């Protein structure tokens, strides 16, 4: 299995797979995701697989010997109720490695692992920056693959509001909590 954030909860909760679009150790997206893991408390179980070793998508490899890291990731998404993506904006678009992971997990289209999953899209940046472009592009892609939550969230200036790997600014924590509440309610209400 892929390494996951260990955060044991009861079985009746929503299961969410989290995908972080930056591989940087001090990533602001990682800080936002880890803060969300804490904020979800007993409302949902959010597990964040390590996607670092996912290879470039190769249809020959997919047909001959799908890498275990990819099949584990596909199983994780398939057994989740929802997917939460926190990503930076790179060159007005989706970071290449994240897009590569989405391409692997999208298969077989249209009934791949994302099919029927509620998908939340969040952008984050260490410094001021809206992430408007990446959220628009990602929402479009994820709306084709699954059920994209129409309300996306932008979390700028993460560096100045965090300590020890978590957002500490009360107003931003409140904003994250409110967005999560809306996403979970929507995910539950819109289940197939």
Ligand X SMILES: Cc1cc2nc3c(=O)[nH]c(=O)nc-3n(C[C@H](O)[C@H](O)[C@H](O)COP(=O)(O)O)c2cc1C
Binding stretches for ligand X (CB under 6 A): 22, 24, 27-29, 88-92, 124-126, 129
**Which is nearer to ligand X, 16 or 155 (by Cβ)?**
155
**Which is nearer to ligand X, 30 or 45 (by Cβ)?**
30
Nearest distance from C-beta of residue 85 to ligand X, angstroms: 12
State whether residue 88 is helix, strand or coil: coil
**Which is nearer to ligand X, 132 or 191 (by Cβ)?**
132
**Which is nearer to ligand X, 90 or 186 (by Cβ)?**
90
Nearest distance from C-beta of residue 122 to ligand X, angstroms: 11
Nearest distance from C-beta of residue 135 to ligand X, angstroms: 11
Nearest distance from C-beta of residue 129 to ligand X, angstroms: 3
32-57 burial by CB neighbour count: b if 16+ within 10 A, else e?
Answer: bbbbbbebbeeebbbbbbebeebeeb
What letter does residue 84 receive in the DSSP assignment?
A: E
Nearest distance from C-beta of residue 13 to ligand X, angstroms: 27
Per DSSP bridges, beta strands 147-148 and 14-20 are: unpaired
**Which is nearer to ligand X, 21 or 112 (by Cβ)?**
21
Name the region of 132 (left: φ>0; alpha: ψ -120 to 50; beta: rest). Answer: alpha
- Closest alpha carbon to 19 in 109, 91, 104, 92: 104
């Amino acid at each position: 299995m892929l390494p996951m954030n260990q955060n044991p909860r009861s079985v009746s909760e929503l299961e969410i797979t989290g995908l972080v679009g930056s591989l940087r150790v001090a990533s602001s997206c990682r800080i936002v995701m880890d803060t969300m893991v804490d904020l979800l408390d007993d409302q949902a179980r959010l597990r964040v697989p390590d996607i670092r070793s996912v290879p470039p998508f190769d249809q020959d490899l997919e047909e001959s010997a799908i890498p275990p890291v990819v099949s584990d990731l596909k199983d994780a998404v398939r057994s989740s109720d929802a997917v939460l993506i926190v990503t930076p904006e790179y060159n007005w678009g989706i970071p290449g490695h994240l897009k590569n992971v989405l391409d692997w997990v999208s298969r077989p289209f249209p009934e791949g692992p994302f099919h029927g999953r509620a998908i939340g899209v969040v952008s984050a940046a260490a410094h001021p920056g809206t992430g408007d472009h990446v959220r628009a592009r990602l929402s479009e892609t994820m709306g084709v693959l699954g059920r994209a939550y129409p309300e996306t969230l932008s979390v700028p200036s993460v560096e100045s509001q965090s300590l020890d790997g978590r957002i500490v600014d009360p107003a931003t924590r409140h904003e994250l909590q409110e967005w999560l509440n809306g996403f979970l309610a929507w995910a539950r209400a819109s289940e197939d």
